[in-house]
A and B are shown apart, each in its own frame.
Chain A
Amino acid sequence: DQQVKQNSPSLSVQEGRISILNCDYTNSMFDYFLWYKKYPAEGPTFLISISSIKDKNEDGRFTVFLNKSAKHLSLHIVPSQPGDSAVYFCAASGTGANSKLTFGKGITLSVRP
């Protein structure tokens, strides 16, 4: 029973264009959502997060949108750069500090020069 789903295994975009990575969740108890980026032979690196009380959070080229009624979030990267090519994981946690993270399977993003 996968509670966090990243249904598209891969995405390829042209440099300079927008990358949109999607994530769906089923557990309504999740109230904090995070995106991590992972390069080969490295651990996941925290990118951006959003609390369930917000519907948008922006940090430079990265914006995360949350639609609670649809149990859907998305990560927008604008403009995309070749260095953004990596695996992106969506993760969710429940209430309280340091609740465990539940991850999706990840999306491999390739940004073509």
Chain B
Amino acid sequence: ETGVTQSPTHLIKTRGQQVTLRCSSQSGHNTVSWYQQALGQGPQFIFQYYREEENGRGNFPPRFSGLQFPNYSSELNVNALELDDSALYLCASSATKGTAKNIQYFGAGTRLSVL
């Protein structure tokens, strides 16, 4: 059973550029959530995808968008990058049934630096 994998591990962009981050969910999981973790803070919820549709969104502007694919993998896209977007981006997958349905399992994250 493979865990949650994210790519790339590190990324450097300049202000105004666009970025795409990728996530493969854990085997058997059909829901993917994305979080942003700024330095010294806890992860903050960006949005969640279930059955290829957005299923909840945190307090992030529309330039943060996402996709979920039929194999439950997901992408996070950020347009018009700002300096404050520099953070660790975490993807988490979870199941909708079973005893572990409330538990989200995280990948190692993508460290994004915006210069």
Stretch of B13-21, B44-52, B66-74, B78-86 on the interface side: B44-52
Q: Which of A11-19, A68-76, A92-100 contacts B (4 or more CB under 8 A)?
A: A92-100
Contact with A along B82-115 (1 / 0, CB 8 A): 0000000010101111000111111111000000
| With A43-B106, A105-B42: A98-B90 Cβ-Cβ less than 8 Å | no
Q: Which of A4, A36, A89, A100 is close to B33, meaning CB atoms less than 8 Å apart? A: A100
| B77 contacts A by Cβ under 8 Å | no
Residues of B within 8 A of A (CB): 4, 6, 31, 33, 35, 40-45, 48, 50, 55-56, 58, 90, 92, 94-97, 101-109
CB pairs A–B below 8 angstroms (27 shown): A4-B42, A32-B102, A34-B102, A34-B103, A42-B108, A43-B90, A43-B108, A44-B90, A44-B106, A46-B105, A49-B103, A89-B43, A91-B42, A97-B101, A98-B31, A98-B50, A98-B55, A98-B96, A98-B101, A98-B102, A100-B56, A100-B58, A101-B43, A101-B45, A102-B45, A103-B42, A105-B40
- Taking CB atoms, residues of chain B closer than 8 Å to A91 are 42
Q: How far is the CB of A7 from chain B (nearest CB, A)?
A: 13
Taken together as a complex, chains A and B put the C-alpha atoms of A100 and B42 apart, in Å, by: 13
Residues of chain A at interface, number, CB under 8 A: 25
Closest to B102 in A: A32
Give, as a whole number of angstroms, the nearest-CB distance from B109 to chain A.
Answer: 5
Complex contacts, B103 vs chain A, CB 8 Å: 34, 46, 49
B94 with A43: CB separation less than 8 A: no
Give the residue among B31, B40, B58, B92 with the most A Cβ atoms within 10 A: B92
Complex contacts, B56 vs chain A, CB 8 Å: 99-100
**Within A7-62, which residues are at the interface with B (CB < 8 Å)?**
32, 34, 36, 41-46, 49
The residue among B33, B43, B96 with the most chain A CB atoms within 10 A of its own CB is B43
B33 contact set on A, CB distance < 8 A = 98, 100-101
Q: A41-B108, A43-B107, A97-B97 are in contact. Are A106 and B58 (CB under 8 A)?
A: no
Task: Say whether B48 contacts A103, CB under 8 Å.
Answer: no
CA–CA, A57 and B55, complex, Å: 30
